[in-house]
Chain A
């Protein structure tokens, strides 16, 4: 295996492409570009390298997205607009974790390959190699939740849909500005202590700084697991959660939300006793994470409501159900009829 990879690398090096294969730092959220960028007006076919990029392109230019990097269940597809609902599953491009063959990628004839999310050296070099081998132009944008406005704006320009990018970025900015205003008004010690339970048993959580839990701090909550240090996902025990004694539990897993209510052991946790266990909708994409993309913007609004119920700033906004309907219409092109909207929000116990 190693030998073959070396050979491929060697072949790529010998191919001596006509453009510099170096990352071109642009400032802003576009971290790297490889290959000759097509003029925005000529970008008609876009391959999204991973789930966050898929959601981003779907929101900005549904007609240009070639397919979904991830498999979407029928329930998720039902909540997408007509242009997105029927798109095939084209696989993801992530070095050894790829599920799309480079040859299939070439066959799709994309004008641009876009990746969004983590932008460390591994991802940059993966994209560099893939671009060198295929000759396709590729761009990598970073995407923490605070970047989503800039992400929509800049990628909108790259894809030749600047006006739409501007409009969606305006919505993103408004949601993030609401969170910032609320944060500014709630001193640290008054912020609710929140546990984010993942997985069917809810004993999986994100440490401080993890991309999976960044919504908690953004929405003026305190992630109890940050006490255990910074890092990414980890397992904890119920004993640990009892010691943290969170005031609020949020999750995206309906099994876990039901289990918490039924399991007498969890009743010792303050959040369960006071009924502050909330399950975020996860369709068509997660509201809290999974994938960590622009889909989380509606989760910001939802989480603000759940962490700070009755806050004056939120009372002045449009009702949550209206905000959800508007978000699904503008980002996914889906007109949710009232029953579908009701069903979506019903997941939240």
Chain B
């Protein structure tokens, strides 16, 4: 088992290395090495300021954001799939993406500055899930998980309608393209201050998931059995939802909506390490981080322009997902 983990970490390191070396601005491997060596030793690198800017201020935040966002989405997806006992669940099941999308789209429609658009996205995501939790708390007669999912679907649909309404009202020449690009997601606008501002929320979501990874296994049991084992099911579920929402909303506010990572990466991880959550979580985190950085490297090198990340993750994710579906069908 340790060998497998070492391989995974090595693969991730390789992906990161390629991501640093690749890009539109020509940076030779030697220059990259000199830049890194200069940082480590504190000596001047002798490189042009443009190369320094590209390596440290553009690629570093971008790759770091890819690692964090991929990890956050995959971890949230793995937690939700375990908690809802459903393999088709992704982090946006409770409306976090739709809420963040509506917040951001509203910000673009009102012509607000970028930082406010990001803040609205973050707040919108939290508000959407908060609404779902509040609605679910009001309904006590039905199965708690089912109520959560149904409330999430309903709130998500409502917010999606709001997004569509604003798209119709937006100026088709100026605002509509911005809205479309935001909803497709991408790492191209990430800067170091953005990332640092988002990181606390991302970690505040990820850390509880890591700490509770042993208990999440027990949520896959029916509620009565888990309760009999002394697990405060309802409270644990609320904590998990809050943690997953916090990190997903932070991720989405930074990059826009990136689909498929939260849905497909946990399945890849399950194929590699099995369903046991204390192993599944780190595997999902590693894979999600690597997958997103790889997809983003492709997004910025494959074509003369930037390809929207949401399109690439779906292009890679959907066929794999179909393959999984077909496989699980065969077994039955």
Contacts and interface: CB of A to CB of B under 8 A. Distances in A.
A236 B191 contact: no
A321 to B, nearest CB: 25
A261 to B, nearest CB: 13
Interface stretch (A18-26, A239-247, A298-306): A239-247
A231 B174 CA distance: 16
Interface stretch (B123-131, B137-145, B181-189): B181-189
Interface string A89-127: 000000001010000000000000000000000000000
Contact of A291 (B53, B57, B173): B173
A187 B168 CA distance: 43
B59 interface: yes
Given A200-B117, A239-B58, A265-B53, A228 B25 contact: no
Interface stretch (A133-141, A153-161, A165-173, A201-209): A201-209
Interface centre among A50, A239, A255, A291 (most CB of B within 10 A): A239
B274 interface: no
Contacts of A243: 24-26
Nearest to B308: A235
Interface string A37-59: 00000000000001100000000
Contacts of B111: 200, 255
Given A51-B172, A268-B49, A289-B174, A239 B191 contact: no
A255 B186 CA distance: 20
Interface in B178-198: 178, 181, 186, 188-189, 191
Contact of A198 (B114, B169, B174, B306): B174
Interface size, A (range): 35 or more
A204 B308 CA distance: 12
Interface string B290-332: 0000000000100011101000000000000000000000000
A207 B181 contact: no
Contact of A200 (B53, B57, B113, B169): B113
B108 interface: yes
Given A200-B178, A259-B114, A265 B58 contact: yes
**Nearest 3 pairs of A and B residues by beta carbon:** A228-B304, A290-B173, A290-B174
Interface of B: 23-26, 49-50, 53-54, 57-59, 62, 108, 111-114, 117, 168-169, 171-174, 177-178, 181, 186, 188-189, 191, 300, 304-306, 308
